Amino acid sequence: MDKIIISGGNRLKGSVKISGAKNSALPIMAATLLTRGSSVIKNIPNLKDVTTMSYLLVALGANIIISGDEITIKCDKIKRSFIHHDLVRKMRASVCLLGPLLARFGKVEISHPGGCVIGPRPIDLHLKGLEKLGAQIEMKHGYIIAKSEDGLRGNEIYLGGPLGSTVLGTANVMMAATLARGETIIEGAACEPEIADLAAFLNAMGAKIIGAGTHILRIEGVEELGGAEHTIIPDRIEAGTYLIAVAISGGDTLLKGARHEHLTAVIDRLEEAGVKIERAPDGLKVKRKNELKAVNVIALPYPGFPTDMQAQMMSLMSIAKGTSIVADMVYPDRFIHVGELLRMGANIVRQGPRATIIGVEKLGGAQVTASDLRASAALILAGLAADGETEVSRVYHLDRGYEKIEEKLSSLGAKIKRVTDKPSGKKKK
């Protein structure tokens, strides 16, 4: 099993390219199931989750050609609409195959999805939304079985929930509605940039969607969709992670491709903490020379501070002067990383959906264990600022959401390497 070892204390300098957004790429790849035509998707990130989605599509009968960061997908010979547990369990986003398969073929059987363990993330809003379009859905032996024998029909659907709008649920229902008869109005829709990116791809395929990027979507169903060419937006969570990497190391770096408008809440908090961030023609420049100041953060649905940046921000606040509070209203149980930061000398007290952090002068290197994708990144960031060596184990999570993170950080001057533990065993006598 791989682990990452970081020797802290180096400032990050230079430039780094931000990869395409994982949370755009996965539903857009799923959307190619809506047509028999060929689609070309550019700026695809090289991630395990993208590989898993490719395997899922190929298992269904899709033809896929990958060339660098470009992928061509043609789904004219789909042979089945059953998706086995073995692939689905690896990635929660596999559930976004449900809407396209149901819309095009009228039936789908898919295992309940997997992914990171960061608290309860039910898919009931996905299913209720599809039922409002006329689908008949049942759960049986761990599988979701959905049918629409008479086809899907447009309807008014509300997708808001107690923890905010559902992003994948919005994607699922939006994709299904493109081929439904009549108009669908989705209220309480997620307004993340990745939803707007998916809508742009669907419209390029011939869909009629207006309102993407707001909480109300209007979708006029069409008879069929065609192939399209599309370029994935930069990954705002990867960009935010590198903003904090530079801030925590006291560096000076250009993030190529990063978009200010997708990171407003993160940038506001970082600037309040004393980090200097400027727009550049090809991205964002970030610099931190002065002492970090403690700031409070509440993770909320977009355009609020992203829950996917909560753990990384906690690492930064661990060495900021003063006391800060980090709360998560999206996933209130997403605090497994707190225990590992404590091992590195952080002063953190968790109380329900929030944690109080009293900044310390220095963190210390330690052996820590990653629990999920963003916690993995947070522990690496803490290692960049720590005295001595930090060893992060169970880093397989990283490859699901960060493209070559150790190579990118190394190119900026970090002392970081990935090593593979060889299984120990005694020779037989």
What residue numbers does the annotated binding site for UDP-N-acetyl-alpha-D-glucosamine cover? 92, 121-125, 308, 330
CB 41 within 8 A of CB 29: yes
DSSP secondary structure, 196-218, as one string: HHHHHHHHHTT-EEE-BTBSEEE
Pairing of strands 229-231, 38-42: parallel
Structure tokens at 191: 């307004």
Structure tokens at 171: 């994607």
CA 87 vs CA 59, 95, 115, 296: distances in Å: 10, 11, 11, 39
Q: CA 4, CA 282: separation in Å to the nearest integer?
A: 30
Known binding residues are 22-23, 92, 121-125, 308, 330
191: annotated active-site residue:
no
Structure tokens at 201: 């791809």
Known binding residues for phosphoenolpyruvate are 22-23
Q: What is the DSSP letter of 234?
A: B
Structure tokens at 163: 């923890």
Q: Which of 75, 96, 116, 191 is catalytic?
A: 116
CA dihedral 404, 408, 413, 417 (to 10 degrees): 0
Structure tokens at 304: 């609020």
Kindly list the catalytic residues.
116
